[in-house]
Amino acid sequence: YGAKNIQVLEGLQAVRKRPAMYIGSVGLRGLHHLIYEAVDNSIDEALAGHCTKVAVIIHKNNWATIQDNGRGIPVDKHPKFNMSALEVVMTKLHAGGKFDKNTYKVSGGLHGVGISVANALSEKLYVEVKRGGNVYRQDYVMGKPTNKLTIIGQNSDTGTKVSFLADKGIFETLEYSYDTLLVRLRELSFLNKGLEIKITDERNKKERIFQYKGGIVSFVRYLNYKKEVLNDPIYFSKEVKDVKVEVALQYNVGFVEGVFSFVNNINTHDGGTHLVGFKTALTRTLNNYAERMKMKDVKLSSMDVREGLIGIISIKMHSPQF
């Protein structure tokens, strides 16, 4: 795997021209989206089995840093372009790194457009890669490199660090919300079992580290925290070809249903066939069980099955891009 697997699609001018088309808005949501795109790349590296820690830092002066201990973005020369693979990843739209038929992207940024969008929409950005014993750095202004990829030191670790100052000419605000980022990063750590995600707010010295060995089982326990529960969480998973499905369920004594579904770490808020199919299957399974146990008067409707049901359905599928 190396530079040859990265294809180029489009330059970054389009992003600066119509930012909302790529990140949803130029408000706080869009601003947070820059961080999510970078975190998403690190999570892909974790899903590939090469990264165990992701750290997000909100600095004073509106800078943000996203750091991981993955393999580091490749720095070798891209065969088709007169630049490093790293520069391709940073400056070409859709060049998240994992491309063509041999390589895949799993964790989906909302719009799945990659770190280059954060670069395009940043007044300043720099990236540091530790790889092959060296520390590399390159700097950008509004998505354009201002120097060559340079070795700035030696280090035997590996990883990627991206720091940026979002462009005040584009965003309505540059004030990240610690609480909003915290909720999403906690969710991502539930969805990616074992992955350590740290958030640090240097503006007011707040810090949290999330790491859930139980994954989505921990997630349902968390959602039922302080509720009277009727069972230990039920968990099952299955992988068929490039699709991995995980389910965790736990009933509480209440009547409110809380079943959340995620596809590639993104909440499918409006449900979908996977949710509808799952609830039908759960109803049938419980009724079959009742029949086998000769519980003659039990006939559950899907409405009954949903009362007090707390659950997470998480699907991850490798989708070849383009």
**Which residue, 41 or 62, is less far from ligand 0RA as judged by CB?**
41
DSSP per residue, 90-126: HHSBT--S--TTT--B-SPPSS---HHHHHHTEEEEE
Positions 139 through 178 that interact with ligand 0RA (CB under 6 A): 160
Identity of the residue, 76 or 291, whose beta carbon is nearer to ligand 0RA in the bound complex:
76
Shortest Å, Cβ 52 to ligand 0RA: 12
Distance of CA 47 to the CA centre of its chain: 10
Is residue 97 within the footprint of ligand 0RA (CB under 6 A)?
Answer: yes
Alpha carbons 168 and 37: distance in angstroms, whole number: 19
Q: Report the alpha-carbon distance of residue 21 to residue 266 in Å, rounded.
A: 18
> Taking CB under 6 A as the rule, does residue 215 contact ligand 0RA?
no
Would the CA dihedral through 143, 149, 150, 155 be positive or negative? positive
- Judged by CB under 6 A, the residue of 32, 71, 78, 92 near ligand 0RA is 71
Which one of 11-19, 41-49, 136-144, 246-254 is the stretch in contact with ligand 0RA (CB under 6 A)? Answer: 41-49
Place of tokens 């490039």: 242
Paired sense of beta strands 150-154 and 134-141, if any:
antiparallel
Q: Does 114 sit near ligand 0RA (CB under 6 A)?
A: no
Which lies closer to ligand 0RA via its Cβ, residue 89 or residue 166?
A: 89
Separation CA 207–CA 202 (nearest Å): 8
The phi-psi region of residue 294 (left if phi > 0; otherwise alpha if psi is between -120 and 50; otherwise beta) is left
Is the Cβ of residue 96 or residue 308 nearer to ligand 0RA in the bound state?
Answer: 96
Q: Quick check: 264 binds ligand 0RA (CB under 6 A)?
A: no
Contact between 1 and ligand 0RA by CB under 6 A: the answer reads yes
Q: Name the residues that contact ligand 0RA, by CB under 6 A.
A: 1-2, 41-42, 45, 68, 70-71, 73-74, 97-98, 160
